[in-house]
Amino acid sequence: MIMLILTLAGLMYATGSYSVEGVAAVSGVSKCIGYLLLSAFFVGLVFKKIRLPKLTGYLATGIIVGPRILNLVSESTLGQLKLVSGVATALIALTAGTELSFRMMRGLLRPVMWISGLAVVGTMFLLGGVVMMARSLLPFMAHATLVQAAAISLLLGVVISAQSPAVVVALRDETNAEGPLARTVLGVVVLADLIVVMMFAVATAVTKASLGSGAGISATMQMLGWEILGSLFAGLLLGVLLALFLRYVPGGAALFILALCVIIAEVGRQLAFDPLLVALAAGMFVRNCTKMGDTLHHNIESSALPVYVVFFAVAGASIHLDVIPKVWAPALLFIVVRAGGFLVGARVGATLAGAPEVVRRFAGVGLLPQAGLALALALLFSRTFPEFGEQAGALILAIVAINEVVAPAFYRAALVASGEAGKGTPEPTDAYQPTETDEMAPSLPLR
C-alpha cells in the first residue's frame, strides 16, 4: 500500500515536470482530482489499519501533497477545485436532510434543542467574551474602539464555534454507528450550521455598522430574509423535483443527484442562496413528506464516496500551515475555550433534557470537529473586512487546521466507546428501531 502511494506521488510529480502550456490548463484539474481521489483513498485505508479515522487520512493526504509541503497540488489548482467543495457540501447537506426524520427524531428533539441552545449558542458568546478579554493578543484589534472590538469579538466567536456535519456524517458512516448519540450529534450539528449561518449574517451586519460601512437595517433584514427564507423555499422546490424523479424515472438517480448538487452549489450561490440550507431543505422534504427517503439515501451512498474523498483532501490542502506559528498562543486559547464550552454545555444540556447517559458523556465530543463551513466563513471574513480580515482569517484558519486534524479521532473514539459503532443500518421510514430486513441492506460508502 505504501509503495502504491509513493508511486502515485512520483507519477504526479513527473506529469507536472513536462506539462505543455495550454494542455496543462485543460488537464490539470482532472489530473489533480484523480490523483487526490486515489492517493487519499489509499492513505485512508492505511489510517484505518492503525485504528485512526479514514477521514483523518484524507485530510493528511491533502496537507502533505498540497502547496505548503510537496506542492503536487498547487494553490491555483485548489482554486479551480471549488466546484468539488461546493458539490460535496450540497451532497453532505442533502444526506443530513435525509437523516432528519421528524418521526424518528421525535424522542431526540428535546436534547437536540437543549444542547444547541447551551452548547452551541452559549459557546458563541463565551468565545466572543474571551476574544474581547484577550484582544491585546490580537494585533488587528489594537486600534479598534470598545464598540468595534465587541462587534468583532462576537463575529469571531460565531465563526470559531462552527461545527462540521461533513465530519459527523463521514465518521458515522465509517464506523457504521447507530443510536441516540449518533442521531443527537447529527441533529445538533445540522441545526448548529443553520444557527451559525444566520448569526454570521447578523454579526457581519453589526460589525459593518460599527465600522461605519454597513447597510441600513431595512436592507440588512431584506438580505437575511432572501438568503434564509429564499434558500428554504428553493430547497422545497428541488425536493419536489427530486422526489418526482425518484418515483417516475427508472435508473440514473445517482447521476441526477450529483447534477442537482452542482446546480445547488453554483446556481444557488449566484442567486445569493445558501447551498447548505437549500440542500438540507430538499433532503428533509424528501424524507418527511414523501416515501422516497430510503431510495434517495441509497442513491446518495452509491455516488458519495469519490466526492467525499476529494472534498476532504482539498480541505486538507487548503490549510495554511504557515500561519500557525504566528498565532499559536491565541489559537490554542480559543481552541481550549471552544472545547470546554461544547463539552460542558452539551453535558448540562443533555442532563436537563433527560437524555441517555451515553449522550450526556459523549455528545460534546461530536461538536469539536471543523471543516468546510468554518473554512468558508474564514475566507468570507477575510474578503468582507479587508482592513483586518487577513490577520483574523489566519487566526481562524489556524484554529480550524488543528481541530480539523485532531478532533475527528476523538469523535471516532467516542462512537466506539459508546457502543454504537457497528450497529448502523439504512434508515427505516416508519419506525425508529431497525428491522432484521434492514440489516441485510448494503453498507454505507465510507465504512
The least confident of 123-132, 174-183, 428-437 is: 428-437
Which of 111-120, 169-178, 234-243 is the least confident region? 169-178
Residue 173 in this model has a pLDDT that exceeds 70: yes
Mean pLDDT lowest among 250-259, 344-353, 388-397: 388-397
Helices marked H in 249-292: 253-270, 275-289
Whole-prediction pTM: 0.68
Residue 116: pLDDT over 80: yes
Lowest mean pLDDT among 24-28, 77-81, 134-138, 223-227: 24-28
Mean pLDDT of the 44-63 span = 82
3-state secondary structure of 323: helix
Round the average pLDDT of the chain to a whole number and report it: 79
Q: For residue 103, is pLDDT > 50?
A: yes
Q: What is the pLDDT of residue 217?
A: 57
Residue 201, SS3 per DSSP: helix
The Cα 79–Cα 66 span in angstroms is: 12
Percentage of residues of the chain with pLDDT beyond 90: 12
Average pLDDT over residues 17-41: 69
Instruction: Give the residue among 306, 316, 332, 446 at the shortest CA–CA distance from 398.
Output: 332
DSSP string, 101-167: -HHHHGGGHHHHHHHIIIIIIHHHHHHHHHHHHTGGG-GGGTT--HHHHHHHHHHHHHHHT---HHH
pLDDT bucket at 189, cuts 50 / 70 / 90? confident
Helix, strand, coil shares of the chain as percentages rounded to 5? Answer: 80, 0, 20
d(CA 348, CA 119): 8
Q: How far apart are CA 190 and CA 196, in angstroms?
A: 10
Is residue 415 within 8 A of residue 167, CB to CB? The reply is no
Q: What pLDDT does residue 145 have?
A: 83
Give the pLDDT confidence of 435-445 residue by residue, as tens digits.
333 333 333 33
pLDDT of residue 8: 84
Q: What is the pLDDT of residues 332-342, one digit of tens each?
A: 899 999 999 99
What value, to the nearest 5°, has the Cα angle with vertex 200 and ends 399 and 233? 125
